Structure 1
Amino acid sequence: MSEQTASEAEHDPGLSRRTLGVPSITLMIIAASAPLTVVAGGVTTSFAVTESLGVPLGFLVIAVILTVFSVGYTAMGRHITNAGAFYAYISQGISRPFGVGASLVALVAYNAMQIGIYGLFGFQLSMFLEAKFGFASPWWLWIILCIVVVGVLGVNKIDLSAKVLGALVALEFLVVIVFDIVSLAVAPEGVTATTLNPAELFGPSLGIVLVFGVAAFMGFEGAAIYGEEAKDPKRTVPRATYAAVAIIGLFYAFSAWAFSVGIGPSNIVGSSQEFGPDLMFVFMSDHMSVLFVDVMNILFLTSLFAALQSFHNAVARYFFSLGREGVLPGWFSHTSKHGAPWAGSVAQTVLALAVTIGFAVHGSTGGAEAMEASTGNPAFLYPVLTMFTWLTNTGAMGLVLLMAVIAAAVIGFFRRDRRGLSVWTTLIAPIISGLLLLWVFIMIVANFHILLGEASPGFGTYILPIIVLLAGLIGIIWGGALKSRNPEVYQRIGHGTEPGAYGTEVIDVVEE
């Protein structure tokens, strides 16, 4: 146990305050979902794997589920402002040990999402440079360089990240809108509402469509993570959350429908299976200039970069929150003069480097060839089929599980005092969304081998979900141990908001 004095606190001021407004937080949330990446990759993958024409409506159904979830989630957020978000909500709504368990699941999930996206980024940039300039380069080289850039932005003032992400997201939207317009103009089978027919969605394929679609929304819950840096947390966070869900849901549904119109409803499934994520670029190559397609490819890369930065910021703030309250070593709570959680940012950067090096070494020592032999996929796809696919799907699974638990936490938080809120907000909406999210989670686990691109369940199908669940179990055990081992730290769990939050000029932190 060590003490951080008021003098030291002056040099470690905590997160920047009153910095972010609704537009900034909304853009960072949307950046995490990577709009161009979802339309190019997520939409085609959903059509190809599910063989269902109900993909556009699937996005709307998910948006409705998450909107209902947000009713209780944002209501709880008006009473809890903590960079740990899920961790704090579950600590106060269920129990402190469960909150610690949730924090470790969140760290695994957000890190998995972020590091997994690096795999696709490195692969795409390497392939683009080779195709355009004949410059062959290892995929992992570009990941390492990108990790450095993301890390530098992560330790600087948060509004710098917000401005960078805002500009990138605006360009992504512009490109996708142009794609949508071209698709509707081409319309080989006419502008038809075939893929908007409810009968195409509500059938045997409903569950798997939602399983593939829900990953496109991951990151929407992150508004609460920026609550301590919001200009008005009680208003900014709820507005940003609802805005993000509405924009993402409507935009993806419209673009998926436009995509189906541009290719033709009768051809969209077959074409998606043939070309995969390249279908969007192949289509635009036939109807737009080479220059525009090159711009699209570049913005596809910046879309991935924006998602990387957004998830990096979220991980850094989780580390900060847990370090501040003593659940993790106290140095995780250190912030820069800009109010950025530099210790958490550095920790995430180091972790990303370590995992990238691990995949690079495994791929270069026979892992890529072994994958080709067992799956028939080309060895050069190794970072996409392993690092990207394994980790991002694991992250999405963990976040869906956490949202289902959050729904229960909302009920627990308002059980004794509804704080003037309606039964719909404090009970009915959480029950409905919680059950639906739990069902989606079960469907993810049941179809996990499909998400990983495996014909039948294999080693990864079992080990990756176990890692997520094991992280939660370890956290629960550790949280329970703190109750007897360090009661003072135990009382802080999920209740800290900033240095000095405990009513004293001296802040105790745990040193491991």
Structure 2
Amino acid sequence: MTAPTSAPVEGTATGPGRLTGQLGVGAVVFMVIAAAAPLTVIGGNVPLAVAGGNGVGAPVGFLLAATVLLVFSVGFVTMTPHVREAGAFFSYVTTGLGSRAGLGAAFVALVAYTAVQVGVYGYMGWAANDLVTFFGGPSIPWWVYSFVTIAVVAVLGYRHIELSAKVLGVALVLEIAVMLALDVAVFATGGASGPVWSTFSPSNVLSPGLGVAVLFALTGFIGFEATAVFRDEARSPERTIPRATYLAVTIIGVFYGLSCWALVTAAGASDAVSVAQRTLDGEGNMMLDTARDYLGVAVRDVMNVLLITSLFACVLSFHNVLARYQFTLAHKGVLPARLGRTNPKHHAPSFASVVQTVTAAVVLLALALVGLDPLVGVFGSMAGVSTVGMVLLMTVTSVAVLAYFGRRPDAAAGRVLPTKVAPVVAILGLLACAWLVVSNFTLVTGGSAAVSTVLALIPPAAFVLGVALGGRYSLVADEPAG
């Protein structure tokens, strides 16, 4: 069914307001991959995975994370026709496990996305100042750039989603194109001493550092559930959402794995770890230095600029996801009714967007006043909270898939693999990932064990709070017709 193109009726939490749009598979995939911030992950997560993880075997960590998410996606998309509304994991958990678990999932999502959005604003402040000083400009406080970014995101988030999709699309094409050009250049010239085939040897893949590589790979996938968040604004969502989900996870996983392998090959098997470590020590930049060596200084400078656009695309996508979560919860009566209204001119959840802008600004201001470092203190800790939250959300969602089809044998008839086997395998894989995340959590947050423990407990605490309050609301949507 094609989404209507007429202007939606402005609604409240109990009214008929809905978001509309004509986003196709490509546009939705753009939004999801933009949220993953490919260039940011290659430039930041890859050196962390190589230096702190399993060395030259790190590229396989990204492929393993993608495999777990693909298995998870099987049950996720199989349930999509049975979930009536947008809301992503929140709506799926509500449909499968009821209002209490659904509200718990919604609270976890709000915490996770708010955390990673604030973290990226911190990263943006650091990266923008680094770019300006690199080209001879003055060094000013990182939070100035962060608040300028918040202002620009506020303007775009207030308007219709298709404008954001166009902005994200342009930025995404450029950053992927330059990274693919670097990948091709490395493999075409053979790197330091030919492709590092030892990347795939069991001794390197299964070394003790594999958990660290998988952890940073998972952090790079935060936001892929956005395929379902935009279902009301998608063209033929029953087909668009599943295709976009599979495409997004596959493209992100292959891109991460290939690019990580290219950087390892460029450095050489014997030097990859030391090159990555110099990046962490602030004595070099694994991605940018490789671009300079293989594509020239001009391309390195272009990639430096594109790192800023990558961060901007990332935070804009998270902003849009959060605004739509608030919009959906307002329609359920959980949040104030005004958050569930659409703007009659832009046909967007504009007030929810404004509230999200203010929330991010207040949290960021508090962190800046405390004097935290923008990378370790702001980005590191907030990314850690978000990673725990997203693994928790996906695990609960897989349980919801099992529960839903367990109650509906008619819907599961003849589909044992997607309705039973895949969710069980996904749960086991996600539990293993959860253990890897928690056991290596201090590497992400950069804080002490005590501080890291408190941060790791925030998403589970949000889930418990949602379950406790969920009995006050009826969040389960009617079953789709047919």
TM-score range with shorter-chain normalisation? over 0.9
Match of 1:316 among 320, 323, 334: 323
Q: Is the 8 A contact 2:29 2:227 kept in 1?
A: yes
Query: Is this contact kept in 2: 1:182–1:262, CA < 8 A?
Result: no
Q: Which amino acid counterpart does residue 426 of structure 1 have in structure 2?
A: T
Q: Deviations over 1:114-153 (max 9, x none)?
A: 1101111011101211221332211111111110111111
> How far apart, CA to CA, are the structure 2 residues paired with 1:104 and 1:47?
34
Q: Deviations over 1:26-51 (max 9, x none)?
A: 01000011111111111111001114
Match of 2:266? 262
Matched, 1:340 2:348: yes
Q: Is the 8 A contact 1:324 1:496 kept in 2?
A: no
Question: Where in structure 2 are the equivalents of 1:23-42 lying within 5 Å?
Answer: 23-42=26-45
Q: How many Å apart are 1:292 and its aligned residue?
A: 1.8
Deviation at 1:290, TM superposition (A): 2.7
Do the aligned partners of 1:18 and 1:232 also contact (CA within 8 Å) in 2? Answer: no
| Aligned pairs (5 A) from 1:365-380 | none
SS across alignment from 1:53 = helix
2:195 to 184, 191, 208: 191
* Alignment match, 1:211: 215
Q: Which residue of 2 aligns with 1:358?
A: 366
Determine the structure 2 residue equivalent to 1:487. none
Residue type of the partner of 1:340?
Answer: A
Give the corresponding residue for 2:46.
43
Structure 1 pair 421–40 and aligned structure 2 pair: CA distance change class (3 A) = farther
d(CA) in 2 for partners of 1:234, 1:7:
23
Structure 1 residues 18 and 496, CA gap change in structure 2 (3 angstroms) = farther
8 Å Cα contact 1:17/1:228 also seen in 2: yes
**In 1, distance between residues paired with 2:31 and 2:41?**
16
State how far apart, in whole Å, the 2-side matches of 1:421 and 1:223 are.
26
Q: For residues 403 and 8 of structure 1, do their structure 2 counterparts lie closer, same or farther at Cα, with a shift above 3 Å needed?
A: closer
Match of 2:444 in 1: 451
Q: Distance in 1 between matches of 2:116 and 2:226?
A: 13
1:293 aligns with 2:300: yes
Matched, 1:461 2:452: yes
After TM superposition, the structure 1 stretch with the greater mean CA deviation from structure 2, 231-240 or 325-334, is 325-334
- Displacement of 1:218 in angstroms is 1.3
Corresponding residue number in structure 2 for 1:180: 183
**1:121 touches 1:304 (CA, 8 Å); kept in 2?**
yes
Out of 56, 65, 70, the position equivalent to 2:68 is 65
Report the CA distance shift for 1:496/1:333 in structure 2 as closer, same or farther (over 3 A): farther
2:170 corresponding residue in structure 1: 167
Look up the equivalent residue of 1:151 and give its one-letter code.
A
Change in Cα spacing, 1:289 to 1:192, as seen in structure 2 (3 Å) is: closer
The alpha carbon displacement at 1:291 in A equals: 2.4
Structure 1 residues 155 and 421: alpha-carbon distance in aligned structure 2, compared to 1, 3 A threshold:
farther
Q: Is the 8 A contact 2:19 2:349 kept in 1?
A: no
Structure 2 match to 1:386: 377
CA distance in 2, matches of 1:205, 1:133: 39
Aligned to 1:234: 238
- Report the equivalent of 2:392: 401
Gaps of 5+ in 2: 1-7
Higher mean C-alpha deviation, range 66-75 or range 191-200: 191-200
SS in 2 for 1:442: helix
Q: CA deviation at 1:7?
A: 8.3
Tell me what 1:495 maps to: 477
Please give the secondary structure, in 2, of the residue aligned with 1:78: helix
Which among 145, 158, 162 is matched to residue 148 of structure 2? Answer: 145
- The within-5 A match list for 1:34-113 is 34-113=37-116
The 10-residue stretch of structure 1 (100-109 or 248-257) with the greater mean CA deviation from structure 2 = 248-257
Structure 2 Cα separation of the partners of residues 223 and 391 of structure 1: 23
- Check conservation: 2:10, 2:17, Cα contact below 8 A: no
Deviation at 1:104, TM superposition (A): 0.4
| 8 Å CA contact retained: 1:33, 1:216 | yes
Residue 331 in structure 1 maps to residue 331 in structure 2: no
Q: Distance in 1 between matches of 2:380 and 2:452?
A: 12
Of 14, 39, 45, which residue of structure 1 is paired with 2:17? 14
Q: Could you say what secondary structure the match of 2:23 adopts?
A: coil
Q: Tell me, yes or no, if the aligned pair for 2:326 and 2:340 is still in contact at 8 Å.
A: yes
| Residues 220-257 of structure 1: CA deviation (Å, up to 9, x unaligned) | 12101011111111100000000001111111111111
C-alpha distance in structure 2 between counterparts of 1:399 and 1:270, whole Å: 31
- Cα offset for 1:395? 0.5
Contact 2:21–2:162, Cα closer than 8 Å, also in 1? no
Aligned residue identity for 1:279: M
Give the AA of the match of 2:463: G
Kindly indicate whether the alpha-carbon contact (under 8 Å) linking 2:36 and 2:314 is maintained by their aligned counterparts in 1. Answer: yes
Q: Give the 5 Å matches for 1:129-140.
A: 129-140=132-143
In structure 2, how many angstroms separate the alpha carbons of the residues matched to 1:294 and 1:408? 46
Q: 1:8 offset after TM fit, Å?
A: 6.0
Matched to 1:274, the amino acid is R
From 222, 227, 230, the equivalent of 1:223 is 227
Contact persistence 2:342–2:350 (CA under 8 A): yes
TM-score w.r.t. structure 2 length?
0.92
Q: How far has the Cα of 1:494 moved from its partner?
A: 3.9
Query: Per-residue deviation at 1:386?
Result: 0.6
Which amino acid counterpart does residue 352 of structure 1 have in structure 2? Answer: A
Amino acid aligned to 1:230 = A
CA RMSD of superposed structures (Å): 2.0
Query: Which of 206, 210, 222 in structure 2 is aligned with 1:202?
Result: 206
Instruction: Report the AA paired with residue 94 of structure 1.
Output: L
1:441 corresponds to 2:423: no
> Which residue in the other structure is 2:5 paired with?
none
Q: Could you tell me how far apart the structure 1 residues matched to 2:110 and 2:167 are?
A: 24
CA contact (8 A) 1:47 1:53 kept: yes
The residue identity in structure 1 corresponding to 2:220 is A
Aligned in 2, Cα 1:263/1:359: closer, same or farther, shift over 3 Å? same
Query: What do residues 460-499 of structure 1 show as CA deviations (whole Å, max 9, x unaligned)?
Result: 211112221211111111112x1xxxxxxx23x14279xx
Q: Could you tell me whether the CA contact under 8 Å between 2:59 and 2:261 is conserved in 1? A: yes
Q: Which residue of 2 aligns with 1:283?
A: 290
TM-score by length of 1: 0.87
SS of the aligned residue for 2:20 comes to coil
Q: Secondary structure at the match of 1:414?
A: helix
How many residues end up aligned between the 2 structures? 464
